[in-house]
C-alpha cells in the first residue's frame, strides 16, 4: 500500500513522520508514505500516473480546492470547507474526496476543553480559518467572528462558515482593533503578526487554539498560561489519525503518532 502527502512546498511536512509511526506501531510492514512536490496544474497528471497499489493521498496547499473536482464522490464537509485535504484511492484512482481538517479541529479542541462553545473568534481569513471556524460551529457556536488584515481577505472564509447548517452569525473585523468574542480564539496568522496589543485582547478567552506548530511557542501560545492550549501539532495529528484510518481500515495509534511528531519537531528545532 502506497500513500503520500502532496503540495508545493512540501519538504517541511510532518505527515510522513506521523503516518510511518502509525505503521510501525501497528506492525504494518507493507505500507509506505512519502512527501511529493506536486503543483496545482500537475495534480491531475500525477493522479493519472498512479499504479494500483496507491491507496490514499493527503493534500496541502495549493491542491485542496482542485481536489474537489477530481473524485466522483465528495463529502459534505469537504464541500462545506471549500476544499479536500484527502483523496481515497481504489486501484490507484480517486473514489472519494474528504476534508479531515474540520473534524480534526473538533477533536483537537475537545481533547483539551470539554466546556461549552457558544461563540468564537478566528484570527485570519484563509482555508484554515474556514475549517476551524466550521469546527467551532460543529461544537455549538452560533456566532463566529473573523479578524483579518482586511475584510476582503476573510470574505471566502466568512461565506464558508455562514453556510454551516446551523446558520451561525458571522462577523468580520480587523486584526488591528477587532474585539475578541466567545470562549475560543483560533489563530491562523503568522507569529510575527501577533503583536502585544492583539495578545492582550485575547487574554480573557477561555481556550487558545494556535494553528501553528513552528515557531513554538508563538506569542499567543506563550501567553495562554493555565488556559487550555490547542496546538497546531494537535490539529495535524487528529486530522492525520482520520486519514490513517481511511487509508488502512484500522484504528490509528494516536499516541504513537503524536510522540513521533513531537520528537521530530524537537530534532528539527532543538531550541524550541
Q: Which residues are catalytic?
A: 64
H or E element that contains 47: helix 43-48
3-state SS track over 133-185: HHHHHHCCCCEEEEEECCHHHHHHHHHHHHCCCCCCEEEEEECCCCCCCCCEE
Q: Which three cell numbers stand for residue 100?
A: 479531515
Residue 249 backbone class (left: φ over 0; alpha: ψ -120 to 50; beta: rest) = left
CA 214, 181, 176: angle at the middle one, nearest 5?
65
Query: Rounded to an integer, what distance in angstroms lies between the CA atom of residue 139 and that of residue 119?
Result: 9
Rg of the Cα atoms in the chain: 18
* Cβ 117 vs Cβ 140: under 8 Å: yes
* Cβ 61 vs Cβ 83: under 8 Å: no
Q: Which three cell numbers stand for residue 41?
A: 496544474
DSSP-derived secondary structure letter, 95: E
Amino acid at each position: 500500500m502506497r500513500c503520500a502527502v502532496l503540495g508545493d512546498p512540501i519538504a517541511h511536512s510532518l505527515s510522513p513522520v506521523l503516518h510511518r509511526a502509525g505503521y510501525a506501531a501497528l506492525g504494518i510492514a507493507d505500507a509506505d508514505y512519502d512527501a511529493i512536490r506536486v503543483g496545482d496544474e500537475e495534480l491531475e497528471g500525477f493522479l493519472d500516473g498512479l499504479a494500483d497499489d496507491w491507496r490514499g493521498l493527503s493534500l496541502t496547499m495549493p491542491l485542496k480546492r482542485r481536489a474537489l473536482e477530481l473524485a466522483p464522490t465528495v463529502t459534505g464537509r469537504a464541500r462545506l470547507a471549500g476544499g479536500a485535504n484527502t483523496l481515497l484511492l481504489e486501484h490507484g484512482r480517486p473514489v472519494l474526496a474528504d476534508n479531515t481538517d474540520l473534524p480534526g479541529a473538533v477533536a483537537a479542541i475537545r481533547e483539551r476543553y470539554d466546556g461549552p462553545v457558544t461563540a468564537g473568534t478566528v484570527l485570519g481569513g484563509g482555508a484554515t480559518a474556514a475549517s476551524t471556524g466550521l469546527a467551532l460551529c460543529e461544537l455549538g457556536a452560533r456566532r463566529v467572528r473573523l479578524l483579518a488584515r482586511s475584510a476582503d481577505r476573510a470574505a471566502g472564509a466568512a461565506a464558508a462558515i455562514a453556510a454551516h447548517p446551523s446558520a451561525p452569525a458571522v462577523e468580520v473585523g480587523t486584526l488591528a482593533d477587532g474585539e475578541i468574542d466567545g470562549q475560543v480564539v483560533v489563530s491562523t496568522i503568522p507569529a510575527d503578526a501577533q503583536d502585544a496589543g492583539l495578545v492582550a485582547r485575547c487574554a480573557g478567552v477561555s481556550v487558545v487554539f494556535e494553528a501553528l506548530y513552528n515557531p513554538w511557542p508563538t506569542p499567543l501560545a506563550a501567553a495562554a498560561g493555565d488556559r487550555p492550549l490547542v496546538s497546531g501539532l494537535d490539529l495535524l495529528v487528529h486530522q492525520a489519525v482520520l486519514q490513517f484510518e481511511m487509508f488502512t481500515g484500522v484504528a490509528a495509534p494516536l499516541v504513537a503518532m503524536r510522540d513521533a511528531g513531537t520528537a521530530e519537531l524537537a530534532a528539527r528545532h532543538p531550541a524550541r
